[in-house]
Amino acid sequence: MKRIVYVAMALMLLVAASGQSAYAQKKVTPSKTQYAREALAPYVESGELPGAISIFYKDGVQETCCIGYADVEAKRRIGLDNVYMQCSQTKGFCGVTIAKLVEEGRITLDDPVSKYLPEFAELWVLEQKDDSTKVLHKAKNVLTIRMVMNHTGGFPFEISAKRPDVRGGGWSGGAPIRQVASIAAASPIMFEPGTQVLYSNTGIDIGAAVVEVVTGMKWEQYLKQTVLDPLGMKSSWFWPTDKQLKKKIELYAYQDNAPAVWVEEMDNQQRPYNDSHVFASAGAGLWTTAADQLKFYKMLMNLGLGDNGVRILKEETVKSILAVSTRPADMEGYSLGLTAPVKDAEDSWFGHGGAWATQCSVNWHKKELRMWVVQKAGGPEPWKNARAKAAETFFAQDFSNSTVDAYTGRTK
């Protein structure tokens, strides 16, 4: 009898494993189109665009374009495995960690931040009376988790300890997340919480500090344990290895009708990139690769389910607080660390960009994704219209190999 039970259990495990294996091995169908490459080639040939990665995805069909160089001088071609700084795209990763805690009932978006970080119980607003007078008054509104995550909390872009003009400053230098929150709480805010919009790395770091208190873990470790590792994002971290940095996508300043110029570093992201002066930042700071970032955004596109079959969030969680705005209706769209529409609709996209011109957004209704990877240190983007036209042409295609049922029958 025991032998029969063991055989039955083994068969069940084999069936489950084979199903998971088949699921994990599901291939994306190449589109066999070159819309992005054709649009970008003239700019790469002129040197205006050193190198870029463009990905268009439509319901199982994908156009992947890696064109030009990660390092022009070394003639090192750009590829999906080159690390790069994604800057503010890190905010969406913090949004997912907040969403997980909401889903688990450990926090709500309208909880006062002071419930977890007592130093925020009393805030002071810096009010500009006239050209020569500023006054402080005690904030009347209660600061909530929702507000710090959607840039309506009133906090400056960065705290004083992260001044980019000081060597070692910038968003990855200056202070760890919990200290950033404490400094922010002791500093004046710019307006009454919830009444205006001010884009702020500081606010996102405050959200990450809440995650640390609730979970008892460093935010970056919680992110790694619950998002990066489950999705198989092995190349994404706040401290890239020396080996990874040898293959990084270099920074370039773009010029009109002239080859782009190599830039050693930016004030907000200073070398060395992985020593003891670097702290994890939820507002901007995660290094990644195009291959890894694709896993994260496909998870969002598929409403919380990774391409490897691992569920990170429930469908309804993504729909309700990530894919649609959490701001008041008169303050444009933004959810939790992600740009998002005020009202969700069939043509709605949500995602985020980064300071060095990276961008990714998804449409969960149509199972569509568009990704752009460069490391741009200022200057014009003469290829922008051509790239937009390439995307428009791709998404207008009716691909005969489209896997219409690619996302059906999966566990919610």
Is the residue at 151 inside a domain? Answer: yes
Global confidence as pTM? 0.91
pLDDT digit string (tens) for 234-248?
999 999 999 999 999
Task: List residues bridging with 63 in a β-sheet.
Answer: 56
For 202-223, what is each residue's pLDDT tens digit? 999 999 999 999 999 999 999 9
In a domain, 13, yes or no: no
Phi, psi at 89, each rounded to 5°: -65, -15
CA dist 339 and 350 (Å) reads 6
| The pLDDT of residue 70 | 98
The 10s digit of each residue's pLDDT in 59-79 is 999 999 999 999 999 999 999
Q: Give the per-residue pLDDT at 3.
A: 52
* Domain annotation covers residue 412: no
Q: Considering the domain boundaries, does residue 7 fall inside one?
A: no
Question: Is 199 a member of any domain?
Answer: yes
pLDDT of residue 409: 37
Provide the number of structural domains found in the chain. 1
Segments forming the whole domain that contains residue 70: 28-396
Give domain status of residue 62, yes or no.
yes
CA-to-CA distance for 360 and 373, rounded, in angstroms? 9
Q: List beta partners, residue 372.
A: 54, 359
Contact 138, 127 (CB under 8 A): no
CA distances from 171 to 152, 202, 284, 334, 375 (A): 20, 9, 6, 21, 17
CATH of the domain at 73: 3.40.710.10
Residue 200 lies in a domain: yes
The predicted-structure confidence for 113-172, as pLDDT tens digits, reads as follows 999 999 999 999 998 887 788 899 999 999 999 999 999 999 999 998 888 877 667 887
Tell me the two tokens of residue 250.
Answer: 């270099």
Tell me which residue has tokens 């300071």.
355
Q: What is the DSSP letter of 143?
A: P
- Quick: pLDDT tens for 311-350: 999 999 999 999 999 999 999 999 999 999 999 999 999 9
Residue 15 lies in a domain: no
